[in-house]
Amino acid sequence: MKKSTNGQNLIEYLVSCHSFEIDAHQEGGVEEGQDNYADIRYFGETVTPAISENVGGVVWDDPDQFARLARGEQGWLYPDFTWHPEILTLAVSRDHHRGDFTRDDIASGIWIPKGAFGNFWVQDSDQKMIYIGPVEHSNWGKNSQYLSTPEFIQFLVYGIEQVTIDSGRMYTASIAVPQSIIFDSNQVGELVDLLDQLKPLIESGQAVYVTYSQAVEIWQREYKSQPNIFYREGIEPAQE
């Protein structure tokens, strides 16, 4: 494979040639088994020095995990390493790894969570970990009550233009791409279609592609770290 990646491992190739940001992710977010987030972050740095300080898939209703990450999590496989994550995203409930995605977070915006459970959606500037909301989505056709990511961004653009949505706040949206999509040639077209739908919004400047770290930098610089926790009217937050 290195013949087609300039002699680099695949992860480093994605960083150096395609500007990817590499984040630690624990499938389902639940730290069970032999390794935890700190171990994944430690190991990730052996693959690429550009690995981020971002936690993908944090469990919003796990107070023990939140406390560990907030104070600095010690590795299980690498106990001499303690990780101090800076950014959280893609929050899920404890039921996510059991196949129930109904209580995964669907907020748009950026804020600093106070803690777990209901406090996850409470801004607390005394905390250090910043959260980026992934927003609602029906990208893979499983949640018809939700808009797809392109549809939601178009909804935001229209609302800002009509002054029904506050234009002075920062809104976020992610496309989480399951491995089942990546490795199924028949489904890859679904991802390409989503990106094609986003293309006019990107080209017009109405939406911008950024990494999680860049999103936080923009939030701090251009929005003065003003918190925003946004849901479309009629959509119930995950904590309810």
Q: Cβ atoms within 10 A of the Cβ of 148, count?
A: 21
pLDDT over threshold 60, residue 240: no
Radius of gyration over every alpha carbon of the chain, rounded to an integer in angstroms: 18
Q: Return the pLDDT at 142.
A: 67
Q: Return the pLDDT at 186.
A: 84
pLDDT over threshold 70, residue 98: yes
The CA distance from 170 to 51, in Å, is 25
pLDDT over threshold 70, residue 102: yes
Q: Return the pLDDT at 143.
A: 62
Q: What is the mean pLDDT of residues 33-55?
A: 95
Residue type, 66: F
Q: What is the mean pLDDT of residues 37-51?
A: 95
Beta-carbon contacts of 153 under 8 Å, excluding residues fewer than 6 positions away, are 173, 198, 201, 206, 207
* pLDDT band at residue 5 under the 50/70/90 scheme: very high
* Domains of the chain, residue spans: 1-94, 105-233
| Residue predicted with more confidence, 235 or 129 | 129
Task: Tell me the three state secondary structure of residue 139.
Answer: coil
Q: What would the two tokens of residue 173 be?
A: 């949206």
- pTM of the shown model: 0.94
Q: What is the mean pLDDT of residues 48-57?
A: 95
pLDDT above 90 covers what percent of the chain? 79
If you average pLDDT over every residue of the chain, what do you get? Answer: 93
82-86, 92-96, 142-146, 179-183: range with lowest mean pLDDT: 142-146
| Residue predicted with more confidence, 216 or 6 | 216
Q: Return the pLDDT at 239.
A: 74
Residue type, 133: G
Q: What is the mean pLDDT of residues 119-148?
A: 91
Q: What would the two tokens of residue 224 be?
A: 């003065």
Q: Return the pLDDT at 233.
A: 92
User: Which among 127, 38, 26 has a CA at the least distance from the CA of 77?
Assistant: 38
